[in-house]
A and B are shown apart, each in its own frame.
Chain A
Amino acid sequence: NAGVTQTPKFRILKIGQSMTLQCTQDMNHNYMYWYRQDPGMGLKLIYYSVGAGITDKGEVPNGYNVSRSTTEDFPLRLELAAPSQTSVYFCASKGGHLNEKLFFGSGTQLSVL
């Protein structure tokens, strides 16, 4: 059982480039989330999804887009990378809103130079 899998683990982008951070889970979880972690700032919610076809903005959505075409996959898209998007990105999932235990992936470290 792989849990939550994120790819890539590391990436360096130039300003203005685009990329997609991949996230997939094999636990049949309905709820999926994208967080970013900046030093000393904790984890901030970017986007979330409560099921396939349903997504919504979190605390810091600007500069990002998501889609949820299947239960398993929740990719995060950066269209025009900016230095402010240098961060560690974590994808997470859980089975239901009453089951509050989140399962996290191992993260993607992104640098925008």
Chain B
Amino acid sequence: DQQVKQNSPSLSVQEGRISILNCDYTNSMFDYFLWYKKYPAEGPTFLISISSIKDKNEDGRFTVFLNKSAKHLSLHIVPSQPGDSAVYFCAASAVGLSNTGKLIFGQGTTLQVKP
């Protein structure tokens, strides 16, 4: 039962263009969403997050959009840079439900930004 899904295993974009990574979730109790970035042989690092009370959060070149009715979120990277090439994980939690702080992760999308 995959509660958080990233249906695109990989994405390739040209440097300077926009990268759009998508994520869908099934559990309507999720109220906090995060994106993590992972380079080979390293642990994931936090990128950006959004609460369910918002529909957009922006941090520099990174913007996350949340569509609660569609249970869908997306990460936009503009402009894309070769250093953005990594695996991106979408994650969700139900902060209001419990005090465990557990995150449920998607399968990941490998982004390649070509120079």
Contacts and interface: CB of A to CB of B under 8 A. Distances in A.
Do A and B pair up? The answer is yes
Interface of A: 4, 31, 33, 35, 40-45, 48, 50, 56, 58, 90, 92, 94, 96-98, 100-107
Q: How large is the interface on B (under 10, 10 to 19, 20 to 34, 35 or more residues)?
A: 20 to 34
- Residues of A contacting B: mostly: strand
24 contacts: A33-B102, A33-B103, A35-B105, A42-B4, A42-B6, A42-B89, A42-B107, A42-B108, A43-B105, A48-B101, A50-B100, A56-B100, A94-B101, A97-B98, A97-B100, A100-B49, A100-B93, A100-B101, A100-B103, A101-B49, A102-B46, A102-B103, A105-B43, A106-B41
A97 B9 CA distance: 30
A69 B41 CA distance: 29
B38 to A, nearest CB: 8
Interface of B: 4, 6, 9, 32, 34, 36, 41-46, 49, 89, 93, 95, 98-108
B58 to A, nearest CB: 17
A92 B91 CA distance: 14
Nearest to A31: B101
Contacts of A106: 41-43
Contacts of B46: 101-103
A96 B49 contact: no
- CB-based closest 8 A-B pairs: A104-B43, A97-B101, A43-B105, A42-B107, A42-B105, A101-B46, A97-B99, A31-B101
A23 B36 CA distance: 20
B105 A97 contact: no
